Chains A and B, each alone.
Chain A
């Protein structure tokens, strides 16, 4: 069965510090991978998605970047965190194409920038 791992679960970082959040998927090949951010009362905002190694699409301009160095690894990064980067970050995967393409989520990382 497929599983998705996301870490760390919580993170407190000072303003201006770098960020690296990692997500890995097991049990499937060539998944679509996603990074979402969830702010209170605002639902899930899609930040990045990837359909393959090295292929990253950005949905919104921001202080963050994403990379996919391996098929089942997705990394969210920042060189210098802002206060506004605080939030709940979720990684998700889905299969390419077809009808059975619902997304499955990791358990999230709660980031607090202080």
Chain B
């Protein structure tokens, strides 16, 4: 079993839709949770960062962490064609090495 599971998609939605992206994980020691956005042939860029459980909102993006269920989500409201990208979840335990464990990424296409 992989430490982090993520549906690879592709996920296709119409412009303006609410998008829900999810990851599950098996290691209860994970404390830090991140979402990265990666455009084709580019490096991933950090989108959202959450410590422990709870919600965090930034503009059209909301990140949720449910540690009891080992489940994290990213919601995108009013999706735009420019949101079309691969979204990767990542997480790590506490400690100095900060090794991030990534999901495989979900390819999102927002149709105009």
Contacts and interface: CB of A to CB of B under 8 A. Distances in A.
Interface of A: 6, 32, 34, 36, 41-44, 46, 49, 51, 57, 59, 88, 90, 94-97, 99-108, 110
Given A42-B104, A43-B6, A107 B42 contact: yes
Interface in B64-112: 88, 90, 92, 95-105
Given A42-B104, A101-B32, A104-B46, A94 B98 contact: yes
Given A43-B102, A96-B96, 16 more contacts: A32-B96, A32-B98, A41-B8, A46-B100, A46-B101, A49-B99, A59-B99, A90-B44, A94-B98, A96-B98, A100-B49, A101-B98, A102-B32, A103-B34, A106-B43, A107-B42
Given A43-B6, A44-B88, A99-B32, A51 B43 contact: no
Q: Which of A44, A88, A96, A99 has most chain B Cβ within 10 Å? A: A44
Contacts of A99: 32, 51
B45 interface: yes
Interface residues of B, number: 27
Contacts, number: 67
B34 A102 contact: yes
B60 interface: no
